[in-house]
């Protein structure tokens, strides 16, 4: 017993003395192991931080800890960037979520149940003339003649521009007859007497302008918006990453939408401003230059062509003023008296940017031009028109009031998660294609008109929700008589009874847990509890439900572990080699020990002890250094640098924390790994023969 201890003491004292004698080599190996430990502790701690912050971003924005959806789903639920038909996964629906909710809320670990429905639709977009006509229409309603006159002036100014566009198109167009008709229409509209007498601008004239003239100015590309409908009050109470930037919150019982900031910035912002922003971002955040970066050069050459995007929002007075200001800026007006031509030229010059003038033009634009134009197509308070294809092939068009613009904190720049908009559940249901009493009556009327008879309301409902029929527009088009899908314009009130979102249809629901550590157990227990009640459903964890966004955590972790593995492999080889080289100097000593009776195992243990001790102290000091760095970084925060890292950090800065499990296990593991790394070298040393004791040194 005590002699075993004696041998152990012997080994450790010989090992320590050898390490001291060979302190240069010991220091190198120790430093290498310390470096490995440092990287491992930093890496694993950051991984834990990133995992935690991404988890928070995802679970506290949309996902919750668990998601429940129909057992009849054809696709699996993907909250961010889901696939399926037209980007819409078919996850079925829960015709009434109330029994599910009641059962789930009974579980002691469940904190909340928030019904949801995820879908996408087209945002109808007019052009600038449409916008001006809308403004004129509401001015006429307001009956203030000064305002009306201003609006008329703006419309006239835009008609001039449409005229120029048509002339330009003349050279390209093949259909001369159509073009002549368009020119005749425009002539009527642009004639001075057409909009002369403010009191005589009636519905007829407005409709003429809207239907015959506005389309000449070109349609904007339709924009898809992804959104989810939810019980807004429950949602806001449970998802703290929701962050309102502009406008107001959607209140209980109010019908409307809150748009994602990213979508609005990227798709609904004036394109001049958008290009300015993009270049500015590349110059400031990525330290690029316009001359030296292909992307910037492409943006810059796009920018020059966008003067129309400024011009078409101006009325004559604004245009005159802008022309004067540009002249003051040093961009002279050439091209005669014609204002549109003169300003077009000046704006083109203004929008021709390079590295020397960009910052000046950028701020000048926001100071002098932005206030005069509509920076965003959509702003809080406005009503937008959303068009959706229901699962059974109907087009539903729904006006929705925009209440606010919002972000998910930490996901603001995510292409997948940052683009979701949020609406109330009642509007969602309408766009999804659920029949309300009002729209059902309307559908009956329309069916009668197109000659479909004997369709009871009940059958219509089955058609809409039944899965027997392929629920696509293609299916509808198969029937010749229904070549055009029915367009149903529902008349929904702006308010609804908040009780309506306490039950009824939802596609999925987020389940928030009290202790999210018990995610898997709770998931199993909830499934069992539902089963007991005869309720079937799919329940998945947040990471699975968030699709590729949730997987990113694993990808980041995998990459990090891979990098660590490579570093350790290199360290492994270096430690191994340096020990083998070390044994060469010690052949006589080892031979002597073997000659006077030391077993091979004694030599192996001696070597393992040497690297074990080096490894232990190396790992401890590397870990200590890492802890210091983490504490320091936790104070200052690590800046994200670019979008991808911002997303991974779930914010502009990551504040790392010291993770005690990492700090305690990493040095132990690294010591073990370092010791194992020397097994080969130790066995190599143990092969030295006793007769080598007499080998002459040097």
Partner 1 sequence: MTAVVRISSVEKIYPLGKTQVHALSGIDMDIQEGEFTTIAGPSGCGKSTLLNLIGCMDVPTSGEVYIEGLPIAKLSDRELTKLRLEKLGFIFQSFNLIPVLTVFQNVEFPLLLQGRFSRAERQQKVTALLAEVDLTAQQGQRSSELSGGQRQRVAIARALVTGPRIVLADEPTANLDSATGERIIELMKTINRTHKTTFIFSTHDPQVMRQAGRIIRLKDGKVVTGQDS
Contacts with partner 1 by CB under 8 A lie at 2-4, 6-7, 9-10, 13-14, 17-18, 20-21, 588-589, 592-600, 602, 689-691, 693-694, 696-697
> Which residues partner with 396 through β-bridges?
388, 488
Looking at the Cβ atoms of 2 and 356, the one nearer to partner 1 is 2
Does residue 686 contact residue 639 with C-beta atoms inside 8 Å?
no
The CB-of-21 to partner 1 minimum distance in angstroms stands at: 6
Looking at the Cβ atoms of 636 and 691, the one nearer to partner 1 is 691
Looking at the Cβ atoms of 2 and 287, the one nearer to partner 1 is 2
The CB-of-611 to partner 1 minimum distance in angstroms stands at: 17
Looking at the Cβ atoms of 486 and 590, the one nearer to partner 1 is 590
Question: What is the helix (H) or strand (E) element at residue 342, kind and residue range?
Answer: helix 339-350
Looking at the Cβ atoms of 1 and 483, the one nearer to partner 1 is 1
Looking at the Cβ atoms of 4 and 171, the one nearer to partner 1 is 4
The CB-of-584 to partner 1 minimum distance in angstroms stands at: 16
Tell me how far apart the terminal alpha carbons of the chain are, to the nearest angstrom: 40
> Which residues partner with 259 through β-bridges?
405
Residues 446-455: contacts with CB within 8 Å, 24+ apart?
A: 446/486, 446/488, 447/486, 450/481, 450/482, 450/486, 451/481
Does residue 414 contact residue 549 with C-beta atoms inside 8 Å?
yes
Looking at the Cβ atoms of 15 and 549, the one nearer to partner 1 is 15
Phi, psi of 488 (to 5 degrees): -110, 120
Does residue 656 contact residue 582 with C-beta atoms inside 8 Å?
no
The CB-of-14 to partner 1 minimum distance in angstroms stands at: 6
The CB-of-575 to partner 1 minimum distance in angstroms stands at: 21
Looking at the Cβ atoms of 4 and 456, the one nearer to partner 1 is 4
The CB-of-574 to partner 1 minimum distance in angstroms stands at: 24
Please give the structure tokens belonging to residue 83. Answer: 């696939």
Looking at the Cβ atoms of 88 and 586, the one nearer to partner 1 is 586
Looking at the Cβ atoms of 453 and 697, the one nearer to partner 1 is 697
Beta-strand relationship, 395-408 and 257-260: parallel
CA angle 406, 407, 411 (to 5 degrees): 165
Question: How many angstroms separate the CA atoms of 213 and 185, rounded?
Answer: 7
Looking at the Cβ atoms of 467 and 585, the one nearer to partner 1 is 585
Furthest C-alpha separation in the chain: 121
Question: How many angstroms separate the CA atoms of 24 and 498, rounded?
Answer: 76
The CB-of-582 to partner 1 minimum distance in angstroms stands at: 14
The CB-of-17 to partner 1 minimum distance in angstroms stands at: 3
The CB-of-694 to partner 1 minimum distance in angstroms stands at: 6
Please give the structure tokens belonging to residue 253. Answer: 């019982």
Looking at the Cβ atoms of 293 and 589, the one nearer to partner 1 is 589
The CB-of-682 to partner 1 minimum distance in angstroms stands at: 16
Question: What is the helix (H) or strand (E) element at residue 646, kind and residue range?
Answer: helix 643-649
Please give the structure tokens belonging to residue 209. Answer: 């302008």
Does residue 539 contact residue 68 with C-beta atoms inside 8 Å?
yes
The CB-of-638 to partner 1 minimum distance in angstroms stands at: 46
Contacts of 559 (CB under 8 A, 6+ apart): none
- Number of separate helices (H) and strands (E) present in the chain: 27, 13
The CB-of-542 to partner 1 minimum distance in angstroms stands at: 58
What 3-state DSSP class applies to 583?
helix
Question: Would you tell me how many other CB atoms lie within 10 Å of the CB of residue 8?
Answer: 12
The CB-of-606 to partner 1 minimum distance in angstroms stands at: 11
Question: How many angstroms separate the CA atoms of 258 and 248, rounded?
Answer: 9
Looking at the Cβ atoms of 598 and 613, the one nearer to partner 1 is 598
Question: Would you tell me how many other CB atoms lie within 10 Å of the CB of residue 238?
Answer: 19
Question: Would you tell me how many other CB atoms lie within 10 Å of the CB of residue 302?
Answer: 16
The CB-of-564 to partner 1 minimum distance in angstroms stands at: 35
Question: Can you say whether the dihedral through the CA atoms of 287, 289, 294, 296 is positive or negative?
Answer: positive
Looking at the Cβ atoms of 364 and 602, the one nearer to partner 1 is 602
> Which residues partner with 531 through β-bridges?
none
Does residue 347 contact residue 365 with C-beta atoms inside 8 Å?
no
Look-up of token digits 């989810």:
228
Strands (E), 163-271: 223-230, 242-247, 257-260
Looking at the Cβ atoms of 367 and 584, the one nearer to partner 1 is 584
Question: How many angstroms separate the CA atoms of 547 and 222, rounded?
Answer: 26
The CB-of-25 to partner 1 minimum distance in angstroms stands at: 14
Beta-strand relationship, 420-424 and 537-541: unpaired
Three-class DSSP labels, 238-256: HCCCEEEEEECCCCCCECC
């Amino acid at each position: 017993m005590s002699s075993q201890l004696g041998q152990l003491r012997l080994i450790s004292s010989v090992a320590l003395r050898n390490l001291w004698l060979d302190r240069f080599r010991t220091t190198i190996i120790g430093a290498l192991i310390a470096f490995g430990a440092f990287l491992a502790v930093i890496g694993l701690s950051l991984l834990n931080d990133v995992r935690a912050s991404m988890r928070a971003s995802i679970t506290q924005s949309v996902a919750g800890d668990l998601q429940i959806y129909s057992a009849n789903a054809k696709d699996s639920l993907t909250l961010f960037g889901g696939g399926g038909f037209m980007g819409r996964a078919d996850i079925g629906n829960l015709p009434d979520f109330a029994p599910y909710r009641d059962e789930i809320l009974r579980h002691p670990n469940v904190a909340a149940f928030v019904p949801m429905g995820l879908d996408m639709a087209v945002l109808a977009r007019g052009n600038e003339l449409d916008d001006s006509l809308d403004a004129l229409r509401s001015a006429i309603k307001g009956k203030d003649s000064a305002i009306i006159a201003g609006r008329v002036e703006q419309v006239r100014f835009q008609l001039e521009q449409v005229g120029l566009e048509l002339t330009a198109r003349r050279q390209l167009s093949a259909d001369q007859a159509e073009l002549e008709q368009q020119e005749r229409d425009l002539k009527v509209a642009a004639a001075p007497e057409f909009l002369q007498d403010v009191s005589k601008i009636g519905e007829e004239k407005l409709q003429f302008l809207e239907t015959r003239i506005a389309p000449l100015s070109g349609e904007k590309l339709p924009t898809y918006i992804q959104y989810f409908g939810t019980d807004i009050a429950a949602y806001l109470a449970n998802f703290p990453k929701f962050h309102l930037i502009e406008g107001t919150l959607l209140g209980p019982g109010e019908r409307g939408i809150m748009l994602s900031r990213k979508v609005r910035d990227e798709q609904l912002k004036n394109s001049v401003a958008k290009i300015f922003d993009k270049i500015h971002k590349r110059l400031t955040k990525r330290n690029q230059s316009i001359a030296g970066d292909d992307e910037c050069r492409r943006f810059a050459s796009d920018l020059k062509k966008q003067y129309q995007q400024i011009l078409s929002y101006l009325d004559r007075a604004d245009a005159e003023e802008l022309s004067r200001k540009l002249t003051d800026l040093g961009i002279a007006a050439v091209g005669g008296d014609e204002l549109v031509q003169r300003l077009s030229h000046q704006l083109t010059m203004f929008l021709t940017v390079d590295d020397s003038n960009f910052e000046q033009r950028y701020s000048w634009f926001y100071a002098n031009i932005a206030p005069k134009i509509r920076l965003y197509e959509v702003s809080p308070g406005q009503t937008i028109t959303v068009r959706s294809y229901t699962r059974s092939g109907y087009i539903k068009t729904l006006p929705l009031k925009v209440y606010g613009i919002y972000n998910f904190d930490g996901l603001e720049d995510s292409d997948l998660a940052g683009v979701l908009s949020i609406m109330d559940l009642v509007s969602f249901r309408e766009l999804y294609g659920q029949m309300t009493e009002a729209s059902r009556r309307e559908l009956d009327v329309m069916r009668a008109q197109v000659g479909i008879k004997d369709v009871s309301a009940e059958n219509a409902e089955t058609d809409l929700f039944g899965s027997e029929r392929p629920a696509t527009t293609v299916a509808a088009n198969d029937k010749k008589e229904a070549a055009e899908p029915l367009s149903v314009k529902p008349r929904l009130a702006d308010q609804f009874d908040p009780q309506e979102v306490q039950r009824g249809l939802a596609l999925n629901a987020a389940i928030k847990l009290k202790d999210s550590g018990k995610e898997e157990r709770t998931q199993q227990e909830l499934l069992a509890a539902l089963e007991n009640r005869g309720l079937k459903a799919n329940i998945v964890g947040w990471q699975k439900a968030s699709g590729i966004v949730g997987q990113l955590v694993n990808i980041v972790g995998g990459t990090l572990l891979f990098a660590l593995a490579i570093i350790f492999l290199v360290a492994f080889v270096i430690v191994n080699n340096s020990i083998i080289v070390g044994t060469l100097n010690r052949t006589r000593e080892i031979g002597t020990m073997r000659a006077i009776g030391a077993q091979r195992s004694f030599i192996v243990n001696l070597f393992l002890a040497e690297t074990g001790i080096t490894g232990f102290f190396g790992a401890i000091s590397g870990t200590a250094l890492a802890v210091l760095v983490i504490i320091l970084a936790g104070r200052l925060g690590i800046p994200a640098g670019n979008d991808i890292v911002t997303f991974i950090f779930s914010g502009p800065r990551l504040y790392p924390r010291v993770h005690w499990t990492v700090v305690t296990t990493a040095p132990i593991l690294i010591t073990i790994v370092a010791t194992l790394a020397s097994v080969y070298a130790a066995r190599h040393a143990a092969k030295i023969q006793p007769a080598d004791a007499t080998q002459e040194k040097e």
